[in-house]
């Protein structure tokens, strides 16, 4: 993973920024977002993909693409989380 | 925390550009990543000896195909590739190089090329052998048919390099290493090549032995030609060393008289054993011929030419081979020189005097035994005596002034008699010769110098 991090730092940073932006928006966006059921399904799917990657079951290039996708996704989630926290912090400091 | 869950349900729209990003990243990075991993793996394998190494990358998975020279080498190659950062899986397609039993390596030389064949233990030693072949054998094409194999004996490289040096000394031939036994066949380039190779083979690494050394050498030739017209003795060909050279030149000087010595001999290794023991007596026989050629080729002695009379021819044919070392063969082709026309006794006397002015009959010191080196001279005297069959001849012995008169008198008589005995044994009638001794009473030079004494010690032939 460290190798992928070094090799693809540009792409990872891109997905982190994308996540940061998305997280920033998500705090103030109106609407319900994904339903709980859909979120669970998606979490399950992500877990399965992570298991496949860790178990190194997917061969060759597909295996590499899976690793790449997951690591981009991980940085995206990290970006989202930080973005949301920051927005929330900024919003809560503004006088009502 | 609750907030994070709430917000995360609204994060999904960003996944769409993320997927686009992912696709682009995958599209652009796969090939460079594969190349990078393959290059890094190649570098990791640099210090491990492998043959036919092929690394192919498929995503982060590598396939390593290679021939290893030991199980340990194979495992360490796999471990090295697995340890390369970024590599996910390694497909093992390595195998061990086959083991050769017996481990055979050969270098064969013919006119146009040198072919290296059989097995070499490692790519490095293969390269080393090829390089050594180029260095040892200049200007000849080197053909590499060597395959790699395990099972080489220890210090194989040293043995093979030493043998390649020997191939340089061959005109054609083959050297083979089979496990630890070495065999050589072929023809040496130079006369001493066989000996040089035999000497070099003593430096083979421990444990290696020479099973067969059938290297032949060009024949070792020594030639002597006695030319009665130019009055020259020409020596050509080879002698083993300077000592033998000097001994042969000295023997030629003693045995021949009146002939100029033309010495074109060269020193070279490779002489058969007993060379000088065969050549020196053969030169003595050549001296007895009126014209003749002596060819010593390896262990064959060929003497051809004309003897001065029948008795001498028979003696040379029968007697000479006995003087040679056993391994030598003697092939005489001796004919007899046609008898010269008879001449007047006065002419005979002239001929005797002329001849004895050129050379003296010699004896062992203070004894009456004929020196074998004087036989050629005696033959010539006999030839002259045969030309005047009616003349009676006095054989007169003289000594120098050293010693007691009585002893000198007796010695001169005995020496004159020894010469007469020799003439009679050669077939001349005893009645024609009288042996007379004069002791030191008739000096022809002063007895105060060695030179004068040498002139005074003499045998004279006087026609009566």
Residues from chain B that touch A53, judged by Cβ atoms under 8 A, are none
For chain A, the structural domain boundaries read: 2-93
Q: What is the mean pLDDT of residues B70-78?
A: 91
Residues from chain B that touch A78, judged by Cβ atoms under 8 A, are none
* pLDDT tens track for A12-60: 999 999 999 998 988 887 777 788 888 889 889 999 999 999 998 898 8
Query: Is residue A56 less than 8 Å (CB to CB) from chain B?
Result: yes
Of B52-56, B192-196, B305-309, the poorest mean pLDDT is in B192-196
Query: Is residue B56 less than 8 Å (CB to CB) from chain A?
Result: no
Query: Is residue B36 less than 8 Å (CB to CB) from chain A?
Result: yes
Q: Do B30 and A61 touch (CB under 8 A)?
A: yes
Interface size between A and B, measured as CB pairs under 8 A: 107
The span from the first CA to the last CA of chain B, in angstroms, equals 157
Q: Which residue of B has its CA nearest to A39?
A: B9
Distance from C-alpha of B161 to C-alpha of B140, rounded to nearest angstrom:
17
Query: Is residue A53 less than 8 Å (CB to CB) from chain B?
Result: no
Q: Name the minimum distance, in Å, from the CA of B94 to any CA of chain A.
A: 19
What confidence tier does A95 reach under pLDDT thresholds 50, 70, 90? Answer: low
Element (H, E) at A24: helix A9-28
* Burial class of residue B1, CB neighbours in 10 A (0-12, 13-18, 19+): exposed
Name which of B14, B29, B59 is nearest A8 (Cβ-Cβ): B29
Query: Is residue B339 less than 8 Å (CB to CB) from chain A?
Result: no
Bond into A55 cis (ω within 30): no
Domain B104-216 has CATH 3.40.1520.20: yes
What confidence tier does B435 reach under pLDDT thresholds 50, 70, 90? Answer: very high
* pLDDT tens track for B14-25: 889 999 999 999
Please state which CATH number belongs to domain B345-463.
Answer: 3.30.1330.60
Q: Name the minimum distance, in Å, from the CA of A69 to any CA of chain B.
A: 6
Q: Which of B310, B462, B313, B325 is closest to B396 using CA atoms? A: B462
Distance from C-alpha of B187 to C-alpha of B111, rounded to nearest angstrom:
12
In chain B, residues 82-121 whose CB comes closer than 8 Å to chain A: 85-86, 88-89
- Judged by phi (left if over 0) then psi (alpha if -120 to 50, else beta), residue A60 lies in left
CA A50, A53, A57, A59 dihedral sign is positive
Q: What pLDDT does residue B146 have?
A: 92
Q: Do B36 and A69 touch (CB under 8 A)?
A: no
Q: Which residues pair with B109 in a beta bridge?
A: B114, B173
For chain B, the structural domain boundaries read: 15-96, 104-216, 221-336, 345-463
Pick the CATH number of B221-336 from 3.90.650.10, 3.30.40.230, 3.40.1520.20, 3.40.50.11820: 3.40.1520.20
Q: Do B58 and A15 touch (CB under 8 A)?
A: no
Name which of A21, A27, A56 is nearest B88 (Cβ-Cβ): A56
Residues from chain B that touch A9, judged by Cβ atoms under 8 A, are none
* pLDDT tens track for B283-334: 999 999 989 999 999 889 999 999 998 888 988 988 877 878 888 889 999 9
Distance from C-alpha of A33 to C-alpha of B12, rounded to nearest angstrom:
8
Query: Is residue B2 less than 8 Å (CB to CB) from chain A?
Result: no
Output the 3-class SS for chain B: CHHHHHHHCCCHHHHHHHHHHHHHHHHHHHHHHHHHHHHHHHHHCCCCCEEEEEEEEECCEEEEEEEECCHHHHHHHHHHHHCCCCCCEEEEEEEECCECCCCEEEEEECCCEEEEEEEECCHHHHHHHHHHHHHHCCCCEEEEEEEECECCCCCHHHHHHHHHHHHCCEEEEEEEEECCEEEEEEEECCCCHHHHHHHHHCCCCCCCEEEEEEEECCCCEEEEEEECCCCEEEEEEEECCHHHHHHHHHHHHHHCCCCEEEEEEEECCCCCCCHHHHHHHHHHHHHCEEEEEEEEECCEEEEEEEECCHHHHHHHHHHHHHHCCCCCEEEEEEEECCCCCCCCHHHHHHHHHHHHHHCCCCECCCCCCECHHHHHHHHHHHHHHHHCCCCCEEEEEECCCCCCHHHHHHHHHHHHHHHHHHHHHCCCCHHHEEEEECCCCCCCCCCCCHHHHHHHCEEEEEEC
**Would the pLDDT of B359 be above 80?**
yes
Domain B15-96 CATH class label:
alpha beta
Q: What pLDDT does residue B1 have?
A: 60
Query: Is residue A3 less than 8 Å (CB to CB) from chain B?
Result: yes
Residues from chain A that touch B22, judged by Cβ atoms under 8 A, are 65, 68-69, 72
Q: Which residue of A has its CA nearest to B1?
A: A85
Q: Name the minimum distance, in Å, from the CA of A78 to any CA of chain B.
A: 11
């Amino acid at each position: 993973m460290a190798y992928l991090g070094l090799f693809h730092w540009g792409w990872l940073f891109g997905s982190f920024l994308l996540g940061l932006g998305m997280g920033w928006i998500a705090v103030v966006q109106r609407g319900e977002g994904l339903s709980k059921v859909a979120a669970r399904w998606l979490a399950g799917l992500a877990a399965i993909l992570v298991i496949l990657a860790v178990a190194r079951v997917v061969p060759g290039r597909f295996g590499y693409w899976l690793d790449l996708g997951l690591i981009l996704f991980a940085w995206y989630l990290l970006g989202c989380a930080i973005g949301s926290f920051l927005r929330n912090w900024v919003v809560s400091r503004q006088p009502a | 925390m609750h907030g994070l869950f709430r917000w995360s349900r609204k994060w999904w729209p960003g996944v769409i550009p993320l997927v686009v990003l992912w696709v682009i990243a995958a599209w652009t990075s796969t090939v460079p990543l594969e190349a990078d991993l393959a290059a890094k793996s190649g570098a990791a394998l640099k210090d491990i000896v492998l043959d036919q190494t092929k690394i192919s990358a498929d995503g982060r998975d590598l396939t390593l195909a290679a021939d290893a020279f030991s199980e340990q080498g194979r495992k360490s190659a796999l471990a090295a590739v697995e340890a390369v950062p970024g590599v996910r899986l390694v497909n093992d397609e390595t195998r061990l190089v086959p083991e050769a039993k017996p481990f055979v390596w050969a270098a064969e030389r013919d006119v146009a090329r040198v072919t290296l064949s059989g097995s070499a233990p490692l790519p490095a030693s293969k390269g080393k052998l090829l390089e050594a072949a180029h260095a040892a054998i200049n200007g000849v094409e080197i053909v590499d048919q060597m395959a790699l194999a395990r099972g080489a004996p220890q210090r194989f490289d040293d043995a093979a390099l030493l043998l390649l040096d020997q191939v340089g000394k061959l005109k054609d031939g083959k050297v083979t290493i089979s496990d630890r036994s070495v065999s050589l066949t072929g023809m040496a380039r130079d006369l001493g090549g066989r000996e040089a190779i035999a000497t070099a083979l003593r430096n083979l690494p421990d444990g290696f032995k020479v099973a067969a050394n059938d290297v032949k050498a060009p024949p070792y030739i020594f030639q002597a030609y006695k030319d009665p017209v130019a009055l020259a003795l020409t020596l050509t060909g080879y002698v083993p060393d300077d000592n033998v050279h000097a001994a042969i030149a000295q023997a030629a000087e003693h045995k021949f008289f009146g002939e100029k010595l033309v010495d074109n001999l060269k020193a070279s290794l490779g002489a058969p054993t007993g060379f000088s023991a065969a050549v020196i007596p053969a030169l003595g026989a050549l001296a007895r011929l009126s014209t003749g050629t002596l060819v010593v080729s390896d262990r064959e002695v060929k003497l051809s030419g004309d003897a001065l009379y029948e008795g001498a021819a028979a003696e040379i044919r029968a007697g000479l081979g006995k003087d040679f070392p056993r391994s030598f063969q003697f092939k005489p082709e001796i004919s007899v020189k046609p008898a010269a026309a008879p001449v007047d006794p006065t002419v005979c006397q002239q001929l005797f005097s002329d001849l004895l002015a050129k050379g003296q009959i010699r004896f062992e010191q203070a004894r009456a035994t004929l020196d074998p080196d004087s036989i050629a001279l005696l033959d010539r005297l006999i030839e002259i005596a045969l030309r005047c069959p009616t003349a009676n001849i006095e054989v007169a012995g003289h000594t120098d002034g050293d010693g007691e008169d009585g002893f000198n008198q007796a010695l001169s008589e005995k020496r004159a008699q020894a010469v007469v005995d020799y003439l009679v044994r050669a077939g001349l009638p005893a009645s024609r010769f009288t042996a007379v001794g004069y002791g030191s009473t008739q000096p022809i030079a002063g007895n105060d110098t060695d030179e004068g004494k040498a002139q005074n010690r003499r045998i004279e032939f006087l026609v009566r």
